[in-house]
Amino acid sequence: MGLFDMFKKKNSSEVAKDRLKLLLVSDRANCSPEIMEMIKNDIINVISKYMVIDAEGLDIQITQTESENNNGFVPALFANIPILDLKNSMQEKK
């Protein structure tokens, strides 16, 4: 291995492994795209009560995360919700 290999990005077998692990978590969770879409819409409705969010940019997925109880990886619902304006509903109530 050359000196420059240290700076090289992950090799393709590791990329495949990581992609597969994520993919299988959501496959095994048996969550259909329709259900995911419903969860997504409900999240948008709830959060929108309190702040302005970018519904287009919202991304949810089932992934895995390291358990705090130290028994390996557990499935987790990951949501990335871009906030456009924090103040929104609070100001309206004033």
Partner 1 sequence: MSEVIVVTSGKGGVGKTTTTANVGTGLAMLNKKVVLIDTDIGLRNLDVVMGLENRIVYNLVDVVEGNCRAKQALIKDKRYPNLFLLPSAQTRDKTAVSPEQMKKLTEELKDEFDYIILDCPAGIEQGFKNAIAGADRALIVTTPEVSAIRDADRIIGLLEAEEMKRSDLIVNRIRMDMVSRGDMMSIDDVVDILSINLIGAVPDDENVVISTNQGEPLVGDDSLAGQAYMNICRRIIGEEVPLLDLSGKSNIWQKIASIFKKN
> Which residues of the chain form contacts with partner 1 (CB under 8 A)?
11-14, 16-17, 19-21, 23-24, 27-28
**Residue 64 one-letter amino acid:** Q
Distance CA 88, CA 54 (A): 13
CA–CA–CA angle 83, 84, 85 (5° rounding): 100
Q: Which is nearer to partner 1, 16 or 35 (CB)?
A: 16
Distance CA 63, CA 78 (A): 7
Using DSSP's 3-state secondary structure scheme, residue 55 falls into: coil
Minimum CB separation of residue 18 from partner 1 in Å reads 10
Minimum CB separation of residue 86 from partner 1 in Å reads 40
Q: Which is nearer to partner 1, 10 or 48 (CB)?
A: 10
Q: Which is nearer to partner 1, 20 or 38 (CB)?
A: 20
Minimum CB separation of residue 30 from partner 1 in Å reads 9
Distance CA 45, CA 70 (A): 34
Minimum CB separation of residue 22 from partner 1 in Å reads 11
